Every structure is written in C-alpha cells, then in structure tokens.
Amino acid sequence: MTSAPNDQQSMVNDILDVIATEGMISREKLQDDATIESLGLKSIDIVMILTAIEEKFDVYIPMDGSFQEAKDLKGLVEAISAHILKEKTEK
C-alpha cells in the first residue's frame, strides 16, 4: 500500500510539528540539512520527541532503530515516516 503524496507531506508536517513542540525549537529552524546537534537537541529531547510521535501516530518506535543513523533532520524525518507507514500497513 502506498500513500498519496499529500498524506506523506501531511505526515512529515505533523512530525516536524512534534519536533518543534517537544524540542522547543522554532519551526523555521527545522530545515532539511539541520543536524540534531545544530538544533541543540539532547538525548532526552529525542526520547520525548519519539514518545510524542508514538502517541500521535499510535505506533511503537524502537530507540535503536534507523533513527540513530540519521545525519540530518531530513534523514530523521524520512526514517520516522517510513517506520510509521510500515507499522500502519502491518496493522
């Protein structure tokens, strides 16, 4: 099952909103090439963000997944959205 581009973009926007809210970061700073370090996110912030995303999308996100390999915000969001889509198609 593939999702429509609109659904995908909506999910990406929702993920970015959660990152902005939980990480207490201005939405304008959330650029694709921003790194976790440049955004000033600490490990606890990442845990809070992933927990909020789990609640919002009703999925389980393992803390040792491909998210840790993401080098920038774009990679992180792509890994999270791919995981959410995978979880939703398996339910």
Q: Is 5-90 a CATH 2.40.440.10 domain?
A: no
pLDDT score, position 5: 61
Cβ neighbours for 86, distance < 8 A, ≥ 6 positions apart: none
Supply the mean pLDDT for the chain.
88
Q: pLDDT confidence of 38, banded at 50, 70, 90?
A: very high
CA separation for the pair 59, 28 (Å, rounded)? 27
For the chain, give every domain's residue range. Answer: 5-90
CA separation for the pair 69, 12 (Å, rounded)? 18
pLDDT score, position 74: 93
CA separation for the pair 77, 42 (Å, rounded)? 17
Residue 63 burial by Cβ neighbours in a 10 Å radius (0-12, 13-18, 19+): exposed
